[in-house]
Homo-oligomer: A and B are copies of this chain.
Amino acid sequence: MRKIIVRTTKRKEMVDITGEVQRVLKGLSLENGICILFVPHTTCGITINENADISVREDITTFFSRMVPENGNYRHSEGNSDAHIQSTLSAHSITLIVENKKIQLGTWQGIFLCEFDGPRTREIWLTFLSTNSEINKL
């Protein structure tokens, strides 16, 4: 597998990793297929959302913090249960379509690592499969 390393700087933030994902793909020989993104952590997640107006990700982060408060009468002694819950409410794996050697995304879409218990050094794991082109062409 390939790995993207992300150093987060706040307890809660969304970090745009779209460029990194495209860069990893560029180093491979894959024309058409899929790209699997996997988060090997339990207090962060991954999502796709708007990468044009930065206030969108601030609204998402703020909402997640309000919906799942840091101090919420939890049992887990490490004090980061909010982050574990937010991690399950976002995603741990996303599958992207690759065409003509590029990750295919909608006009306004970016790929974000969602940090819920930073700052920390995080990894995103990636693997790629090529499509059996005859199947999708028929």
Contact = CB atoms under 8 A, between A and B. Distances in A.
Nearest to A105: B40
Contacts of A132: 129-130
B93 A95 contact: yes
Q: How many A residues are at the interface, by size bracket?
A: 35 or more
A94 B94 contact: no
A38 B95 contact: yes
Given A40-B109, A42-B48, A76-B56, A128 B127 contact: no
B104 A78 contact: no
Interface in A51-73: 53, 55-56, 58-60, 63, 67-68, 72
B93 A94 contact: yes
B92 A47 contact: yes
A42 B53 contact: no
Interface of A: 1-2, 27-30, 33-34, 36, 38-42, 47-50, 53, 55-56, 58-60, 63, 67-68, 72, 74-78, 81, 84-85, 87-97, 99, 104-109, 123, 125, 127-132, 134-136, 138
